[in-house]
Amino acid sequence: DYELCEEWGHLYPVPREDLINLHREHLLHLLEMGDMEKALQLLQRIEDPGVCLAISEQSLDQHPNLAASHFLADYLTAHFYASLTTARRNEIQALYIGSKVLLTLPELSRVNYFHLSSRPLLMLEQLLMNMKVDWVAVAVQTLHQLLAGQEIGFTVEDIDNLLSKYAEKALNFPFTLKEKRS
């Protein structure tokens, strides 16, 4: 049905907003089905870069599943980096990095942290608070690789400070140890 509507749009004048809505719904449908190849082909068929940008951004704002969010954030960064405001660019890059970190977690646990995908530093803190030390190790390694040369609102130093803070709390004893006398 989407393809039929797209053909119709080539034959008859369709208002820009309706065209954007059609392509957005089609793109989200393809992404939900996991067909990234057809989703990319759809975006490449759109001739007007402004329409393509609007479709991609609106689709990302719909908060699709993890793979779809990752795909859209990657696409927007790769194709429209210069067209985005600095704040929006940082938001999309944070979402890309957060989704990449989520992909390093065990599949069944991803749903528990998906709501933090646009805030990777907060996700890392949540993992620390939940005592998921092994997951934190993989997440930190991934973040270090992804943050090389990127500006997204936090740095490697912020990660190190967070880890230091929680390491200090782990060693903080709320009571004094008494000496045993023999």
- Convert the pLDDT of each residue in 118-145 to its tens digit: 888 899 999 988 888 889 889 888 888 8
**Confidence band of 177 (pLDDT split at 50, 70, 90):** low
Same domain, 72 and 23: yes
Number of domains comprising the chain: 2
Same domain, 63 and 101: no
Which of 82, 111, 112, 81 is closest to 96 using CA atoms? 81
**Domain span at 145:** 86-171
Q: Which of 49, 66, 84 is the last residue of a domain?
A: 84
Angle value at C-alpha 166, between 105 and 103, nearest 5 degrees: 10
Which of 29, 99, 84 is closest to 52 using CA atoms? 84
Alpha-carbon distances, residue 30 vs 21, 26, 100 (angstroms) = 14, 6, 20
Q: What pTM, to 2 d.p., does this model score?
A: 0.76
**Confidence band of 150 (pLDDT split at 50, 70, 90):** low
Same domain, 99 and 157: yes
On whether residue 177 sits in a domain, the answer given is no
DSSP structural state of residue 60: H
